[in-house]
Structure 1
Amino acid sequence: MKTFKHLTIIFLSTIIIACGSNNGLKKNDFSVITNAKKGNISVNETLKLSLENKKSHKIDSVSYTLDGKQIDNNFDLSNFKLGKQTVEATVYFNGEKQTITTSVTILNNESPKIFTYNILNEYPHDITSYTQGLEFYKDTLYESTGQHKESKLRKVDYKTGKVFKNINLADEFFGEGLTVLNDKVYQLTWQKGTGFVYDANTFEKLNSFKYANSKEGWGLTHNDKSIYKSDGTEKIWLLNPETLVEEEYIQVFTNKGKIIGINEMEWIDGKIFANRYQKDGVAIINPKNGAVIGVIDFSPLKKLVTQHDG
Structure 2
Amino acid sequence: MTRWFLLPLVALVAPASAVPQAAAPAAPAAAAAQRPPLIVPTVVARYPHDAAAFTEGLIWNGGQLVESVGLEGQSDVRRVDLATGKVTARATIPAAQFGEGLAAWKGQLVSLTWHDGIAHRWAAPTLKRLGMLRYAGEGWGLASDATGLVRSDGSATLTFHDPATLAVRRTVSVTLAGRPLTQLNELEVVGGAILANVWHQPFIVRIDPASGRVTGVIDLRAIVAEVGATDPEAVANGIAWDADERRLFVTGKRWPTVFEIRLPR
Q: Calculate the TM-score normalised by the size of structure 2.
A: 0.73
Which string of whole-angstrom CA distances, capped at 9 and with x for unpartnered residues, describes residues 183-203 of structure 1? 101100001111111101121
Aligned residue number for residue 189 of structure 1: 113
Q: CA deviation at 1:288?
A: 0.8
Distance 1:255 1:224 in 2: 28
Structure 1: distance between partners of 2:166 and 2:32: 29
What is the alpha-carbon distance in structure 2 between the residues aligned to residue 224 and residue 109 of structure 1?
31
The amino acid that maps onto 1:236 is: L
* Whole-Å separation in 1 of the counterparts to 2:101 and 2:124: 15
1:211 aligned to 2:121?
A: no
- Name the aligned partner's letter for residue 105 of structure 2: L
Is 1:239 paired with 2:161?
A: yes
- Letter of the 2:221 counterpart: S
Look up the SS of the partner of 2:100 in the other structure: strand
Match of residue 267, structure 1, among 189, 194, 201:
189
Taking a change above 3 Å as real, the CA distance of residues 243 and 298 of structure 1, as seen in their structure-2 partners, is: same
Within-5 A mapping of 1:250-289: 250-289=172-211
By relative contact order (CA 8 Å, sep 6+), the higher-ranking structure is: 2
Q: Classify the secondary structure of the residue corresponding to 2:46.
A: coil
Which deviates more from structure 2 when the two are superposed, residues 203-212 or residues 119-128? Answer: 203-212
User: Aligned-pair distance for 1:111?
Assistant: 1.2
Q: State which of 98, 116, 125 in structure 2 corresponds to 1:174.
A: 98
Kindly state the Cα deviation for residue 256 of structure 1 after the two structures are TM-superposed.
Answer: 3.2
Partner of residue 41, structure 1: none
Q: Counterpart of 1:245 in structure 2: which amino acid?
A: A
Instruction: Give the AA of the match of 1:287.
Output: P
Gap runs ≥5 in structure 1: 1-105
1:17 equivalent in structure 2:
none
Q: Which residue of 1 aligns with 2:77?
A: 153
The answer as to whether partners of 1:123 and 1:160 remain within 8 angstroms in 2 is yes
**In the alignment, is residue 304 of structure 1 matched against residue 229 of structure 2?**
no
**Cα distance in 2 for residues equivalent to 1:178 and 1:228:** 10
| 1:31-64 Cα deviation digits (max 9, x unpaired) | xxxxxxxxxxxxxxxxxxxxxxxxxxxxxxxxxx
Deviation at 1:301, TM superposition (A): 0.9
- DSSP-derived class of the 2:78 partner: strand
CA distance in 2, matches of 1:153, 1:190: 14
Taking structure 1 as the reference length, what is the TM-score of the superposition?
Answer: 0.63
Give me the whole-angstrom Cα distance separating, in 2, the residues matched to 1:107 and 1:261. 20
* 1:263 partner SS: strand
Greater radius of gyration (CA): 1
Give the superposition deviation at 1:307: 2.3
SS in 1 for 2:222: helix
Q: Report % sequence identity.
A: 31
- Say if 2:34 and 2:178, in contact at 8 Å, map to a contact too: no
State the one-letter code of the partner of 1:257.
R
Contact 2:159 2:170 in 1 (8 A): yes
C-alpha distance in 2, partners of 1:162/1:255?
Answer: 41
Q: Could you tell me whether the CA contact under 8 Å between 2:172 and 2:212 is conserved in 1?
A: yes
In the TM superposition, residue 235 of structure 1 has moved relative to its aligned partner by 0.6
Q: Equivalent residue for 1:119? A: 43
Partner of 1:162: 86
Q: CA deviation at 1:246?
A: 1.3
Residue 128, structure 1, aligned to residue 59, structure 2: no
Does structure 2 retain, via aligned residues, the 8 Å contact 1:176–1:217? Answer: yes
Name 1:77's counterpart in structure 2. none
- Which residue number in structure 2 is paired with residue 6 of structure 1? none
Aligned alpha-carbon RMSD (Å):
1.7
For residues 173 and 57 of structure 2, what CA distance do their matches in structure 1 show?
21
Return closer, same or farther for 1:120/1:130 CA change in 2, 3 Å cut-off: same
SS across alignment from 2:43: coil
Task: State the number of aligned residues.
Answer: 203
